[in-house]
Homo-oligomer: A and B are copies of this chain.
Amino acid sequence: MRAGACARKSIGATLGIGMALAAVTAANAHDTNYAPPQRPLSIKSMGSFTVGGEIKATDGTPGGLFGSNSNTGHIAVNQMYVQYQVPTGADAHVPVVLIHGGTLSGSSYETTPDGRMGWLEYFLRNDRAVYVPDQASRGRSGFDVTGYNHVRLGLAPVSTLPEMFVFTEEQGWLTFRFGPKFGTTFKGLQYPIQAADNLARQTIPDINAVLPTPNPTLTNLAQLGRQLKGAILLGHSESGLFPEQAALTDPTGIKGMISVEPGDCTSLIPTSKEVKALAKIPTLIVYGDNIEAAGTVFPNWPQAFKGCQTYVATINKAGGHALLLHLPDVGVKGNSHMMMQDKNNLQVASLILSWIDKNVEPSNHKPGWH
C-alpha cells in the first residue's frame, strides 16, 4: 500500500487546508512562466481518431446533391472525436484526457479567449501526452440529425423536436461565476472578462438531447482509457463527473480522475459496490472562488460544492483516495468556473500536475503506456 494513500485514509473525511496543501505539493516544480514560450515543443506523434459510434439506418438526411427524396441511408452516430499530441518526454508519464464542459468543445483547453496558453499546451510542455475529445453529439463529433429532419419532412410532430442548448452570454456570466449579475464582476475575478465575446465565439450548440441514455461519451471515455493502456481523465462542469461515471462502466484504463467544478456531485449516488470501485482510483475535485457569493443568484454552486464534499468523504471512508481542492483554501483566489482560461490558469494547472505527480505517479506508472 502506498504511504500517501494510507496517510490520507487515516484523515478520513477531513478536508482541511493542510491536507489540500500536502496533496498538491509536488516533488517537481512546474514552471508557469510560459508567456511567451521559451523553447519549441518536441512532438513525437499527433493526429486524431474517433472512439465508439454505431452505423445506423436513417431516413432523415434530405437534400444535398441527390435531391430531397434521397433521404435514406446509413450514418454514424454517438462517436467521440479525439485529437492528440504526444511529446517526446511523454513515456515517463500517464496520458491525460481533457474533456470539455457544456455548450463548449475541446477548444476550451486551447489558447484562452484573450490569447494566452491553455492547459493543452501546458500539459504538453510538461511532457504529458494529451488527448482532447469533443463529447459525442458536439463539435467535430457530429450528431444525429434524424430527429430534426423528421420534423422538417413532416414525418414527426413539432413536439418531438429535440432542444438545442447554448449558453447566452448572460447565462454564461452567472453560470461561470464571473459576477453576481451580468456586467458586474466579483472582486479579484481571474477571468479575462474583456475577452468574454471570444468565449461566446467558443460556445457551440449542445445537442445532448438526441443522445441515448447512458451518454455514449462515458463508454467512449472508458474505451479510450483502455486503448491508451491507462489514462487520467479530467472532466469539467457538465463533464465534471464523466471520469467517475466512465470508471463505473469500466475502470480498467482509468488511472486517475480529476473533476474540475462538476455541476453536480449528488447525481452520483454510488451503491456500496460502486463506492468500492471508485475508491480504487485516485480522485481530485477542484473548485474555484466565490461559490457562496454566486449562490444568491445561482444556488447550484454551493449545492454542488456541498454534494462533492459529501462524495469525497464517502469515498475516503471506504478507503479511497479523494481530495476536494478548494482553491481559495490554498491561497489561490478569484478563480471562476472557467479556470482553464483564467488569468492564473497555468498556476491552477500546475497544482493539478503536482497532484498527479504525487498521487497518480510514479506508483501507478508502467513504462510504455502509449
B169–A73 contact, CB under 8 A?
yes
Query: What is the copy number of this chain in the assembly?
Result: 2
A94 and B209 alpha carbons, distance in the complex (Å): 43
Q: Return the CB mask of A139-178 against B: 1 if under 8 Å, else 0.
A: 1111101001101101000100101111111110011000
B170–A201 contact, CB under 8 A?
no
- List, in ascending order, chain B residues with CB within 8 A of A66's CB: 171, 174
B169–A74 contact, CB under 8 A?
yes
| Chain B CB within 8 A of A50 CB | yes
- Knowing A41-B46, A42-B41 are in contact, say whether A205-B142 is a contact too (CB < 8 A): yes
Q: Which of A170-226 contact B (CB under 8 A)?
A: 170-171, 174-175, 197-198, 200-205
A202 and B149 alpha carbons, distance in the complex (Å): 20
A59 to chain B: closest residue by CB = B168
A-B contacts, 8 of them at CB < 8 A, read A50-B201, A75-B200, A75-B203, A76-B201, A79-B201, A142-B204, A148-B164, A151-B161
A50–B175 contact, CB under 8 A?
no
- List, in ascending order, chain B residues with CB within 8 A of A49's CB: 111, 115, 198
B201–A143 contact, CB under 8 A?
no
A62 to chain B: closest residue by CB = B163
Name 6 extra pairs, CB < 8 A, besides A47-B118, A81-B202: A53-B201, A66-B171, A74-B168, A75-B166, A79-B201, A142-B205
- List, in ascending order, chain B residues with CB within 8 A of A169's CB: 55, 73-75
Interface size range on A against B: 35 or more
B64–A165 contact, CB under 8 A?
yes
| Chain B CB within 8 A of A252 CB | no
- List, in ascending order, chain B residues with CB within 8 A of A62's CB: 163, 165
- List, in ascending order, chain B residues with CB within 8 A of A65's CB: 171, 175, 263, 298, 300
Q: Which 9 A-B pairs have the closest CB atoms?
A: A73-B168, A142-B204, A47-B111, A76-B200, A145-B164, A73-B170, A48-B110, A50-B201, A41-B43
